[in-house]
Amino acid sequence: MLRLLAMLFGCVALICPAQAQTSSSSTPPDSHAPAANLTTGTNEFGFWGGYSPNSPHGIGITSDRKLFLLNGSYARVIGNTDSVAIKYTIDIVPVALITQPAETFVTNSGALISHNAETVYGGGLDPIGFQFNFRRGHKWQPFANTHGGFLYFAQQVPVIDSSQYNFTFSFGGGVQVFTSERSSFSIGYKYYHLSNANSGNRNPGVDANLFYAGFSFFK
CATH of the domain at 184: 2.40.160.20
Q: What is the average per-residue pLDDT within 189-200?
A: 95
Measure the CA–CA gap between 30 and 43, rounded to whole angstroms.
Answer: 22
In angstroms, the first-to-last Cα distance of the chain is: 36
Q: Is the pLDDT of residue 22 over 90?
A: no
Q: How many domains does the chain have?
A: 1
Chain centre distance of CA 45: 15
Regarding pTM above 0.85, the answer is no
Query: What's the confidence (pLDDT) of residue 105?
Result: 72
Q: Is the pLDDT of residue 4 over 50?
A: no
On whether residue 139 sits in a domain, the answer given is yes
What distance separates the 2 farthest-apart alpha carbons in the chain?
Answer: 67
On whether residue 36 sits in a domain, the answer given is no
Query: What's the confidence (pLDDT) of residue 107?
Result: 66
On whether residue 160 sits in a domain, the answer given is yes
Q: What percentage of the chain has pLDDT greater than the value 90? A: 69
User: Containing domain of residue 72, as a range?
Assistant: 2-16+45-218
On whether residue 30 sits in a domain, the answer given is no
Say which range, 21-25, 40-44, 165-169, 196-200, has the weakest mean pLDDT: 21-25
**If pLDDT is split at 50, 70 and 90, which confidence band does 108 have?**
low
On whether residue 99 sits in a domain, the answer given is yes
On whether residue 27 sits in a domain, the answer given is no
30 class by beta-carbon count within 10 Å (0-12 exposed, 13-18 middle, 19+ buried) = middle
Query: What's the confidence (pLDDT) of residue 34?
Result: 66
